[in-house]
Amino acid sequence: MTTEGSLSPETVLAEMKKNGITHVVWLPDSETNWLYLLMKAEPSITLVAVPREGLAYSAAAGIYIGGGTPVILIQNTGMMESGDSMRGWAMGLNIPVVIMVGYRGYTRHGVNKDTAATYTEPFLNAFRIQYYLVENSSDAPRISVAFEEAKKTKRPVAILVGDEYHGFNR
């Protein structure tokens, strides 16, 4: 169930399945609430809930080295707090992992009033993490681009989710 111009959680899940995701390492936020219900019902995916975003990178590293295909699902606030884990466990161990980041505060209309959004892209640039903005379902093919790039470069690549999944705020 989607509205025009929104990002459908079904589309996001389809992108995950298309790219062979086995484990979703995540910490909930308002952007991913509706996606949670779909992921929970998907038998091919194991959900690994972590209590702090930094743990997502090390868990994903273990999953990848063990032969799985993880994706990380966190919010920009937690991503910024977990910079050293991203450095050491993801970049440091050459882990090809896509980080789907809820872009709290993002708006293309008017003035940004949330510093979480203000610092998100500068943070990624500081760590030299390539990123793609996904605002609606027509942007969804960028998710596969990110997976391909992560695999090719053996580095993390970020997807900035610039729209809530229309569950929490539907």
Question: Which pair of tokens denotes residue 166?
Answer: 């229309």
- Alpha-carbon distance of 112 to 52, in angstroms, equals 26
| Footprint (CB under 8 A) of another protein, residues 74-113 | 84-85, 87-89, 92-94
- What's the full length of the chain, in residues? 170
- Alpha-carbon distance of 28 to 142, in angstroms, equals 22
**DSSP β-ladder status, 98-102 and 46-49:** unpaired
CB nearer to another protein: give 23 or 166: 23
Nearest approach, Cβ of 35 to another protein (angstroms)? 19
145 binds another protein (CB under 8 A): no
CB nearer to another protein: give 5 or 66: 66
Q: Which of 7, 12, 13, 25 binds another protein (CB under 8 A)?
A: 25
SS3 call for 40: helix
Q: Taking contact as CB under 8 A, which single stretch among the options 29-37, 65-73, 101-109, 135-143 is the one that binds another protein?
A: 65-73
> What secondary structure does DSSP assign to 2-14, as a single string?
--TTS--HHHHHH
**For binding to another protein (CB under 8 A), which residues are involved?**
22-23, 25, 46, 48-52, 54-70, 84-85, 87-89, 92-94
